[in-house]
Copies of this chain bind each other. A is one copy, B any other.
Amino acid sequence: MSDYRPPVRDMAFVLDTIVDLDDLTALEPYSHVDRDMTAGILDEAGRFFGEVFAPTNRVGDEVGAQYADGSVRTPDEFKPVWNKLTEAGWTAVTGSPDFGGHGFPKAIGIAVSEMMTTGNLAFSLAPMLTGSAISLLERHGDDELRDHYLAKLISCEWTGTMVLTEPEAGSDVGALRTKAEPNDDGTWRINGTKIFITWGDHDLADNIIHLVLARTPGAPPGTKGISMFLIPKFLLDDDGNPAERNTVETVSIEHKLGIHGSPTCVLSFEDATGYLVGEENKGMRYMFTMMNQARLEVGLEGLAVAERAYQQAAAYAKDRKQGRAPGATETSPIIDHADVRRMLMTMKSLTEAMRSLVYDAVASEDRALHGTDETTRLAADQRLALLTPVAKAWCTDRGVDVASLGVQVHGGMGFIEETGAAQHYRDARITPIYEGTNGIQAIDLVTRKLPLEDGAVVNAYLDEVHDTVEALGNHPEFSSMRDELSAALDTVRKATERLAGAEDIQATLAAATPYLEMFGYLAGGYYLARQALAALPESNDPWMASKIATADFYASHLLPKVHGFAPSVGADASLVFSVPDEHFGTAR
């Protein structure tokens, strides 16, 4: 039995109110999609991921991926579920119809991905990384590579990996040293050792397609001299089937805090045969094209682990009886205690805010790809660029917070591994780190995204928030929410202006994370307010009334955090740099 029930109605509500799915599916490539079809997909996915996929989560943690004799073995429960997953086509929802995909909008794909990720975060990384490989090949692979690999990746008969990191090249990818030298037949010989390769080896699929960053002879230093290679675990025979083993060795896997079901591999390439993707020295540029997508998917992981932790805590709080709440005549379920309920409201409202943020960003990606005109597409692309680091960092930091609250709601039982709440706390912790640490996201936001179009992109988004403030003003019952959102918007506007005017790059960098935090909390309040506005006409429906109550809670309890970050944005960088190195940590 799974303890995860996909919140299909919540997802559909966000697709309706935040994404505006009717508007999106009016776009040409999505004209085959309608409301009924979407509802059907969500329901069917909800059953599959709740009943079939999610039950693998505990065993994935407890048994984990195992390494022996050069190979990775996944828990026994994974393979049959993987087969059902791929056979049902759940990994191909957004894939190109030219290669067997279903061609749905990414905004619908993200809802399915949410269920997969909440069902089993560690397991979901295999299709997630495969999706990144698909994106790269779709955009940058030549016809031959696309023909040979794309359909098998879209169906997840084969999986893909992203092979970037080396021991001395983590956040600084440009420092990598793996070498690629040309063979006479147009292929390349790759040599080097790579670390932190998620699902770098496993026993689920017939082949594993590595997309590897390496340097060719005479390449310029840094990120400008990096090329991308496709290196299959098994080379293909003339019929395109996996045949000879390529010289990619799995050296070891890591012993990690969480996501035990996901093998994190050290891979050694020893004269491995690779195929150049696109042109030489453009590897980093290509990586950036799929980076928005990958970062949004990690943002989604923050939401997913939060949703799982929240559902588990809510179920426990309804079941566990302890003490008497004021006015109660017998022992109360702990959900009746105000402080426990406050924690659950925090978890609920943050999770729902995250869902809106991630889905909204993904919808911008759809519109950037398929908007009706160039101006619309560019605006959507820039909006996506702005929201991506926020969605990645804010949602993953909040995912850690919510998972931590989930442990707290369980009290002493939360600290016992068998309860399962601790797994979410452990799993969540990787998400602020990988796919660009949250510090890097914040730096991306303040140094690259805020300056877009001289600030017009961020201002357009803040104007959206302003429109919602105005809309709230039309309803007396939302006056408190309006005031809080308006005040938070004002604080973020001022901080944005201070950063735009900052001359000291160090001050900007030191303010990056506090700024991203305030932006994220504002965005959360904005989306929940839009949900409240959408729910208002139907507020006789208790479910809709709860949406309004959730937005009210957030506006009063969480949105004001925005103001706490204000003094550190635009502050003198010396506040961060005045303590000399030797006084950190070991002063006696």
Contact = CB atoms under 8 A, between A and B. Distances in A.
A509 interface: yes
Interface string A498-517: 00000001100110111000
Given A170-B322, A337-B509, A575-B557, A586 B416 contact: no
A584 B344 contact: yes
A87 to B, nearest CB: 25
Given A9-B587, A348-B579, A422-B257, A563 B565 contact: no
B552 A339 contact: no
A171 interface: yes
Contacts of A313: 585
B7 A557 contact: no
Given A344-B584, A579-B345, A257 B411 contact: no
Contacts of A552: 575, 578
Contact of A315 (B335, B550, B586): B586
A318 B171 contact: no
A588 B573 CA distance: 48
A348 B562 CA distance: 23
A586 B509 contact: no
Contacts of A583: 542-543, 546
B546 A577 contact: no
A96 interface: no
Given A339-B513, A341-B576, A587-B543, A418 B255 contact: yes
B439 A340 contact: yes
B314 A415 contact: no
A256 to B, nearest CB: 5
B408 A348 contact: no
A270 interface: no
Interface stretch (A182-190, A228-236, A353-361, A429-437): A429-437
B412 A433 contact: yes
A384 to B, nearest CB: 23
A510 B339 contact: yes
B415 A404 contact: no
Interface string A1-31: 0000101111000000000000000000000
Contacts of A545: 578
Interface in A541-568: 542-543, 545-546, 549-550, 552-553, 556-557, 560-568
Nearest to A423: B257
A487 B584 CA distance: 29
Nearest to A258: B415
A407 interface: yes
Nearest to A509: B338
A326 interface: yes
Contacts of A524: none
Nearest to A518: B564
A131 to B, nearest CB: 21
15 contacts: A170-B411, A256-B416, A257-B407, A257-B416, A311-B586, A318-B584, A342-B513, A343-B439, A345-B579, A407-B433, A408-B432, A408-B438, A546-B579, A553-B575, A556-B575
Given A408-B437, A549-B578, A549-B579, 12 more contacts: A170-B322, A172-B322, A257-B425, A257-B426, A338-B509, A338-B576, A345-B576, A414-B433, A546-B578, A553-B579, A557-B575, A562-B564
